[in-house]
Structure 1
């Protein structure tokens, strides 16, 4: 087992040549091709080849940087940089080694993460015990995992297509800010949509956080919903009645429209799946007469536009005043229901396909643990 090497600096144009037959592998190639590399977009020059490790025949690799623990089978001549370990002439079939490495992928992710004092390296990997069955049994194991992986890939494709369908429907069934009508419309509906500010058709409030210094405020029975949990049906934290009364945290009911204002989840929106209390990073929205799901989907469709307008460069936070000033194009209630019900059906299919994918992934992980002893 050896480590790849990198020319320095690797961004220098002299290290690359589009006419070269030797590829240059990046972690983006690995993730895009699910660890089985059949083509590379960059190629390394003769000068670059002298500064790195070049493999010609198919080789088994392991990522020890970026996407740590990701196994790779590289099928084309490639310059391998120092973010990968190279299994040089292994005494096992490389496909067998690929799935064996997958078994440890989750546990190896801890190396090199913030707070970790150790990076994944050749010593850790080479000291990991591998039991080798006969070549015939290796072939049988490979065949099983290839079949399961193929089914998972097909299931993932179904899921991706449904997500694309939902995205397309959001674009076509909802009128943009500067348009009075959508691109697609159900039969029986006509006329322009009405444009209103969200604050004109709703009331809203945000919550707060009980002091973390007072332990009596936590560990109660009230789910404490944070912005990263607005899509979930459970929370990690629970607060007490005392925590609720002695803070700005506010109770909301299942079915309340929730909008994330702060942090990595800024712009996320959903209808609450549970009763609970919200913190200051969440805005609870109560509509006067319009369909909750319709407004949710409208805000979901326009998330990127809202983020781009108010969070330039990812800096700053959204606020209740900003969200209340967002313009919403509104048809009559009957058309709102037609649109939201169609999107809900697609979402149900997405949930179903996601559940199937989760079960298949669980099956594969179970087999990895049971078949590699």
Structure 2
């Protein structure tokens, strides 16, 4: 008996087989984008290019919008309408998709984009979600590499086959589920972006600029000038060697992390006799990426590459967490950049002897502790929100695997 063409998970009340259709059977037409120059956004007429579509959310990015630099009456055929789905047809973004939303306003689509007009008999959200599946990504990978320049034309997009419910109501329910999930993910990401922006603004205000003796805002109990010290006065390099322990890495965004948590190949040396020991609370930095903020306060005991620098702080004058925040500020990373040795950014290097001669401004230990508590509270919120975002993305991935074929 032939196996029924149905997904692993379904909404109640639907039992019919699904059917496999190429996009050509789901679309009224495929057409190429408009090839005219752009001008400053006029506040009404949007000119959507590949770069205006976010790589992750597949939503319209409002930041750098432009308008078509031509008579709009002559390009009415290129104005997007409900049920329009766009595909990137060439370059590194090939395969990127965007489902036009009326809420995005009046929009025209530019060259290097292909429009698929989805037939009203099919649910647009269901069709769009098929462009976010592993099956679609595999199609893009294979099809785009048929020529020297990565690209997919309209005929090739039209040949992509999806397995779709015969019932429009089933399509609509699945599409609606993903529509709400996408909105939740977007909202969650916007909350994270808000707290990241808040954190960045606070750091700019609670640490002094290079020429100032005090920050722009302070707790009311503190009014003494911050003290300028050389880093060698408040830190001490540690070079204890060990081949035993958890392998750690220093990253730009997340500080010190377990190497096993990184989604990349382990390129560490088999002979770890020269690796440096790191204790909880130590600060380590990547000597070649310190100017980019590749440093962190370690939450783990372990070992790091001998290319890294490890040091401790003098606890009677300095809170190590405070220093961890301080050396990532724009003012300090700029100092690290101009003090690094090397001819190009690929070879810039900041070893401890040079690092230790750089000046840093610090307040009293009590004020440092206040500032640490403030920043850590924000970081905890960001961490919690990020975990929630990952959960939502995993939930969507699960449904993509179970509700689609």
Q: What interval of TM-score do these two structures reach, taking the shorter chain for normalisation?
A: 0.7 to 0.9
2:271 counterpart residue number: 243
1:159-212 per-position Cα deviation (integer Å, ceiling 9, x unaligned): 12221222222122222232212222223222111101212221225799x9xx
Give the root-mean-square deviation of aligned CA atoms: 4.0
- Among candidates 198, 211, 227, match of residue 231 of structure 2: 198
Residue 15 (structure 1) aligned with residue 37 (structure 2): yes
- Among candidates 159, 164, 169, match of residue 126 of structure 1: 159
**Greater displacement, 140-149 / 287-296:** 140-149
Rate the CA distance shift 1:263–1:168 in 2: closer, same or farther, 3 A: closer
1:11 counterpart residue number: none
Rate the CA distance shift 1:133–1:222 in 2: closer, same or farther, 3 A: farther
1:102 counterpart residue number: 132
> Which secondary structure state, in structure 2, belongs to the residue aligned with residue 162 of structure 1?
helix
Task: Considering fraction of residues, name the structure with more helix.
Answer: 1
Residue 284 (structure 1) aligned with residue 310 (structure 2): yes
8 Å Cα contact 1:223-1:239 kept in structure 2: no
1:158 counterpart residue number: 191
1:82-138 per-position Cα deviation (integer Å, ceiling 9, x unaligned): 2x3432444623222211212246657867999x98946353773343323422222
Rate the CA distance shift 1:55–1:250 in 2: closer, same or farther, 3 A: same
TM-score of the aligned structures, taking structure 2 as reference length:
0.72
Distance 2:271 2:346 in 1: 31
**Greater displacement, 36-45 / 290-299:** 36-45
The offset of 1:296, in angstroms, is 0.6
> Which secondary structure state, in structure 2, belongs to the residue aligned with residue 95 of structure 1?
helix
In structure 1, stretches of 5+ residues that fail to align are: 8-13, 211-219
The offset of 1:30, in angstroms, is 0.8
Aligned length: 352
Task: List aligned pairs for 1:1-373, cutoff 5 A.
Answer: 2=30, 4=32, 7=35, 15-16=37-38, 23-31=46-54, 34-37=57-60, 41-46=65-70, 54-58=78-82, 59-64=84-89, 65-75=91-101, 76-82=106-112, 84-90=113-119, 92-104=122-134, 119=150, 121-122=152-153, 123=156, 126-204=159-237, 222-228=245-251, 230-235=255-260, 237=266, 243-245=271-273, 248-262=274-288, 266-289=292-315, 290-302=318-330, 304-306=333-335, 309=338, 314-320=345-351, 321-373=353-405
**Greater displacement, 276-285 / 88-97:** 88-97
TM-score of the aligned structures, taking structure 1 as reference length:
0.78
Rate the CA distance shift 1:291–1:62 in 2: closer, same or farther, 3 A: same
